Structure 1
Amino acid sequence: MKLLTDFTKLSKVIGGVIVIGYFVQLIAPSTRGVFALVPGRFLPCVWNIFTAGLLEVHFYKVIFSVVSCLALARLIEPVWGSSEFLKFLAATNAATGAATLFLLYIFFALTQYSEKSGDLLYKEVSGFEGVVAGCLVAIKQIMPDNEIMLLTGVIRFRVKHLPSLFLAFAVAGSFVLGTALSTVPFVCFGTYFAWVYLRFLQYKPELSARGDPFNEDFRFASFFPEFVQPPVDKVAQVVGVALRLAPRSPSRAAGGFVPGAAPLPGSDDADAARRRERGARALEERLGSRKPASVPVSTNADIEAPLAEDRTAQAVSSGAEGS
């Protein structure tokens, strides 16, 4: 029981929903068509865009999804808060489901004259991988330089590489396990839409701005190997302009900064200074109970008072001698 108390309430609720959904579809297989994403039956079941990302039909994926949800939420939720974390999960999950549905329609249109095109229209697609991929993107933003060591340090890599590694292994494993139709689009779209949300849309009240558009370590090309990052940067810039995903910062725009232009000199340093200041305040709160007793400080009045008394005593003694 103590182990469960170490995890957040929201992550335990989401994990419980995944487990309950697994047993419901196991007992009543017909419910898969109600909660999974089925392109041919999307209308009137429009809620499938959201519920498909919470439905697992394989036991090993249930275990992986629940463990991942509990572990990742423990790192993200204390930093953002429950409401912002839930908003992030909902946005990433819904966008992933909608994009996957659109992609399946495109595949059907391209293969409609083949013998198996109808099967694609009624495939049941579901899985929590998109949300897991999105949470790894959030971890990349929060603690990019933290190092992960496996096999007693034999394998080492930084957290900022975790989303790319997960995407590569998930895609490769899906072809081996025969789950590529759901895993590949969910993981790819989950990674991308989580990045879009965190890069351009997430509101940060401490900065009075949205997103993290000036962080060079969080640009889209950072998800790729270094030797392909320059061309990816160019493509991402063109796509960003086309989709109007230009950096916007109200506080900087108010000071004369033009949204979409290059960041002002020192802007990244200012953001880093704010983060250090928040960390220092948190450290002071933790050490508040250990503060040493105040040391009395001598003021000028304290120093001058004895001197005045000495001068008065000397004057009295001089007068006595003169008399």
Structure 2
Amino acid sequence: MKFLTDFTKLSKVIAGGIVLGYLIQLVLPSTRGVLALVPGRFIPCVWNIFTAGFLEVHFYKVIFSVLSCLALARIIEPVWGSSEFLKFLAATNVATGGATLFSLYIFFALTQYSEKSGDLLYKEVSGFEGIVAACLVAIKQIMPDNEIMLLTGVIRFRVKHLPSLFLVLAVAGSFLLGTSLSTVPFVCFGTYFAWVYLRFLQYKPELSARGDPFNEDFRFASFFPEVMQPPVDRVAQVIGTALRLAPRSPTRAPDGFVPGTAPLPGSDDADAARRRERGARALEERLGARKPASVPVSTIADIEAGVAEDSAQVASAAGEGPLE
């Protein structure tokens, strides 16, 4: 059983949940309407915005989802930790489910005069592809320059291209298999919201900052072919500036501090004022604890007697008599 010990506990729990959900809907098909995302029954079944991302109804997709979960979590979870990895999965899954639900409502509104438009509201939409796409974006950030070789080196590509390749293959395959209704929005929104979370929202305690805004290999245009990256960059900058999400150019101060990121410790005005106040209070306490000792008052006679005594000692050391 060494094969199972190579994977993280969290990934095995998620993989077990995928298998369990598949078996439950297989035995009780009515549970699909409760666990899958059904736009017409979203209220009161609001939880399906979360459970839909873990529900698979096809056996071949169960195998793919389980293997993907175990393999991808094995790379990501040791780097981030279980709590951060779980937070990432939950945030991207809920955002993907919400965006998918909204897009289905929009699509229904645009096609409401079609004969089959009413069926769209009661389609059962589910799949693990959105989480797989999100995990591939995380791996793109963690190890972008690593190279993958297939067919003994005949096919080579870098890890940073994995999200884009998966997006293209998943969308093309969904149209061939007839699962485009759930696969296309899940994969597209899973990729996008994973990038938003990692680019702007993920908190990094070692840096006391959020996101990864200055990584050139992780900008939004990096998900597109190189020919399309310059125009995508321009559009992303305009939209990011309008939404106050895009950072300014990463000009660095001589000490390496990047403007626009979290302030350096002690650089905040309020923090500096508090530090000065604490320093002044500590100085007063130290001065109060060290009271100067009283200095005896010397008279002129005492001074002359001391000078005479010193002269006598010097003469005695030189072998002479006392000075008269």
TM-score tier after normalising by the smaller chain length? 0.7 to 0.9
The CA deviation at 1:235 is 1.2
| Paired residue type of 1:157 | F
Residue in 2 that maps onto 1:313: none
- Deviation digits for residues 268-319 of structure 1, max 9, x if unmatched? x889xxxxxxxxxxxxxxxxxxxxxxxxxxxxxxxxxxxxxxxxxxxxxxxx
Matched, 1:22 2:22: yes
| Residues 221-240 of structure 1 mapped to structure 2, 5 A cutoff | 221-240=221-240
Residue in 1 that maps onto 2:170: 170
Mark the CA change 1:8 to 1:270 in structure 2 (over 3 Å): closer, same or farther. farther
| Residues 229-308 of structure 1 mapped to structure 2, 5 A cutoff | 229-246=229-246, 260-265=247-252
Q: In structure 2, what is the Cα distance between the partners aligned to 1:242 and 1:187?
A: 26
- Deviation digits for residues 140-188 of structure 1, max 9, x if unmatched? 0000000000000000000000000000000000000000000000000
| Residues 70-109 of structure 1 mapped to structure 2, 5 A cutoff | 70-109=70-109
Mark the CA change 1:107 to 1:54 in structure 2 (over 3 Å): closer, same or farther. same
Matched, 1:116 2:103: no
Secondary structure of the corresponding residue to residue 227 of structure 1: coil
Mark the CA change 1:270 to 1:76 in structure 2 (over 3 Å): closer, same or farther. farther
- Deviation digits for residues 230-270 of structure 1, max 9, x if unmatched? 11011111222233323xxxxxxxxxxxxx32112379x88
Residue in 2 that maps onto 1:4: 4
Q: In structure 1, what is the Cα distance between the partners aligned to 2:2 and 2:214?
A: 41
Residue in 2 that maps onto 1:33: 33
Residue in 2 that maps onto 1:284: none
Q: In structure 1, what is the Cα distance between the partners aligned to 2:173 and 2:257?
A: 42
| Residues 142-157 of structure 1 mapped to structure 2, 5 A cutoff | 142-157=142-157
Q: TM-score, normalised by structure 2?
A: 0.78
RMSD of aligned alpha carbons:
1.5
Structure 1 gap segments, 5+ residues each: 247-259, 272-323
- Deviation digits for residues 192-220 of structure 1, max 9, x if unmatched? 00000000000001111000000010000
Q: In structure 1, what is the Cα distance between the partners aligned to 2:53 and 2:217?
A: 28
Structure 2 gap segments, 5+ residues each: 259-324
Residue in 2 that maps onto 1:48: 48
| Residues 62-73 of structure 1 mapped to structure 2, 5 A cutoff | 62-73=62-73
Q: In structure 2, what is the Cα distance between the partners aligned to 1:113 and 1:55?
A: 31
| Paired residue type of 1:141 | Q
Number of matched residues? Answer: 258
Q: Percent identity?
A: 86
Q: In structure 1, what is the Cα distance between the partners aligned to 2:40 and 2:139?
A: 36
| Paired residue type of 1:261 | R
The CA deviation at 1:122 is 0.5
Residue in 2 that maps onto 1:293: none
Q: In structure 1, what is the Cα distance between the partners aligned to 2:94 and 2:242?
A: 23
Q: In structure 1, what is the Cα distance between the partners aligned to 2:66 and 2:171?
A: 20
Q: TM-score, normalised by structure 1?
A: 0.78
Residue in 1 that maps onto 2:185: 185
Residue in 2 that maps onto 1:202: 202
The CA deviation at 1:191 is 0.2
User: Which of 1 and 2 has greater Rg?
Assistant: 2
Q: In structure 2, what is the Cα distance between the partners aligned to 1:111 and 1:156?
A: 43
Residue in 1 that maps onto 2:304: none
Q: In structure 2, what is the Cα distance between the partners aligned to 1:227 and 1:236?
A: 15
Residue in 2 that maps onto 1:131: 131
Secondary structure of the corresponding residue to residue 227 of structure 2: helix
**What stretches of structure 1 move > 4 A for 4+ residues in a row?**
none
